Structure 1
Amino acid sequence: MTHGKRAFQGRGIMHVSLVVSDLRRSRAFYESILGLIPIKRPADLSFPGVWYFLGPQELHLIEARDTNINPLQHVAIEVTDVRAAKAALQAHKIQCVSELKAGAGGFHSIYCYDPDGNRLELCQPIGFGGVASRSDR
């Protein structure tokens, strides 16, 4: 691995795009249940979709017919209270696909699927030796 001068360097995740089959249904999930607020998209895009800010990153939902995905692929969304997130999912009859993982890797987390089968990890950082906190990044 080379650590010398590079022409460019990755600085972090700018956005994650998820393919969804029904944009209206997905908007209801991401906005009403997860509380995300849509942001303006460039007007020159030729496909339907919606964008959201998630902290300094963005989540882009793109409507398309083929939503075939790898089952291990997931998007991790940081939440302030993972237990409250789990309760909100259950209140909306959204099944969690894992038990609450307490403290693994410096996070409390729970996994679920959005309406199109995109796997989501809702995680609450708790700190752990060797894992950088948000303020250290």
Structure 2
Amino acid sequence: MVHVLSSRVLIRPADPERSRTFYGEALGLAVYREFGTGPERGTVYFLGGGFLEVAGRSEPPLTPGLQLWLQVADVDAAHEELAARDVPVLREPRTEPWGLREMWISDPDGTRICVVEVPGDHPIRFRPSL
């Protein structure tokens, strides 16, 4: 087994500055570190227990299967905040059959992002007894 010390999701956007504006300002993710210079410099954001790195550039089409899952404390409050910042909301918050409250947004390159609230009584919040 590989001993993983840290991890991050790497995104190579079509327009790095537009993506930095989206993740840093529209979503309000805090910066962990920055590196390099120029328009294709790298920015690494805190992403809960991991990191999201926006660096370099890709030509469209980008990875269509990539999706992000961001857990928040209150998805309805997140919806109001993101809608006020003109973040494209693909689907407003709703409770799914599996008990999570989810809404879907997208980044400037069309990467789908699930913003999810785990209710206090949901089984995902509890560790099974061993």
Partner of 2:51: 58
**Counterparts of residues 52-91 of structure 1 (less than 5 Å):** 52-91=45-84
Partners of 2:96 and 2:4 lie apart in 1 by: 26
Change (3 A) 1:42 1:23: closer
1:57-94 deviation line (CA, Å, top 9, x unaligned): 11111231324235443101111211111112221222
Question: Contact between 2:35 and 2:43, CA under 8 Å: does it hold in 1?
Answer: no
Partners of 1:70 and 1:93 lie apart in 2 by: 24
Partner of 1:33: 26
Paired amino acid for 1:61: V
Partner of 2:103: 110
Partner of 1:93: 86
Partners of 1:37 and 1:92 lie apart in 2 by: 16
Paired amino acid for 2:50: Q
Partner of 2:117: 124
Calculate the TM-score normalised by the size of structure 2: 0.76
Higher strand share: 2
Change (3 A) 1:11 1:104: farther
> Which SS does the other structure have where 1:77 is aligned?
strand
1:8-30 deviation line (CA, Å, top 9, x unaligned): 06879821112212222212211
Q: Can you give the 5+ residue segments of structure 1 that lack an aligned partner in the other structure?
A: 1-7
Cα RMSD, aligned residues only:
2.8
Q: Can you give the 5+ residue segments of structure 2 that lack an aligned partner in the other structure?
A: none
Calculate the TM-score normalised by the size of structure 1: 0.73
Paired amino acid for 1:128: H
